[in-house]
Chain A
């Protein structure tokens, strides 16, 4: 049973537009969420996080929104740049444990 779901395996967006990556979770015990970004042939790198007591966290072009009642979070990238093309992993966690989703491949087209 996947506790963290990213139902869109891939997403294509035009440069300069907004990218919205979605993530759904089933475990109501998660008290924090993370987004990691992964380029080909490299390991994932941390991007942004959010505590479950917040509904929004912003860092430059990246904003994560959390809707606890819907068990849904999303990552917004504005404006999207070609260098943002990567696989994005959503993760939920509680205490010492966190669980990654399967990832969404974002392609930003010039």
Chain B
């Protein structure tokens, strides 16, 4: 398996623009997670899905953020409108289960820069 795939790897956009980040989880994994990494706060869980259904979105910072998982092999994280403070690395991860006995496999991340 190719692992978790994320695109784009880098995104530079202007404030106010819409940004869409994409993720393809590992086939057969029932859980998908979106994280954001910043220098100040480290890795923060934004939202996670189980069998394509959003389970916990309490980490989504604002209504400007939305995430979807239309099928088992694809998820998007959308920011509209984007702001400079959204600049961070966004990771997608997938797992065959939830909880500490199940390893989360991370993608390489998308580095977002909002100017």
Contacts and interface: CB of A to CB of B under 8 A. Distances in A.
Interface of A: 2, 6, 32, 34, 41-46, 49, 51, 89, 91, 93, 95-103
Q: Which of B42, B56, B100, B108 has the most CB of A within 10 A?
A: B100
Given A34-B100, A43-B91, A100 B106 contact: no
A3 B12 CA distance: 31
Nearest to B3: A43
B18 interface: no
Interface residues of B, number: 23
Given A41-B109, A93-B100, A96-B56, 18 more contacts: A32-B100, A34-B100, A43-B93, A43-B109, A46-B103, A49-B100, A93-B99, A96-B55, A96-B98, A96-B99, A97-B56, A98-B45, A98-B100, A100-B35, A102-B40, A102-B41, A103-B42, A103-B43
A43 B103 CA distance: 13
Contact of A42 (B35, B39, B108): B108
B99 A46 contact: no
Nearest to B4: A43
A100 B42 contact: yes
B104 interface: yes
Nearest to A95: B99
B14 interface: no
Nearest to B50: A96
A43 B42 contact: no
Nearest to B55: A96
Nearest to B48: A96
Contact of A102 (B42, B91, B105): B42
Top-5 shortest CB links A-B: A43-B106, A102-B42, A100-B43, A32-B100, A46-B103
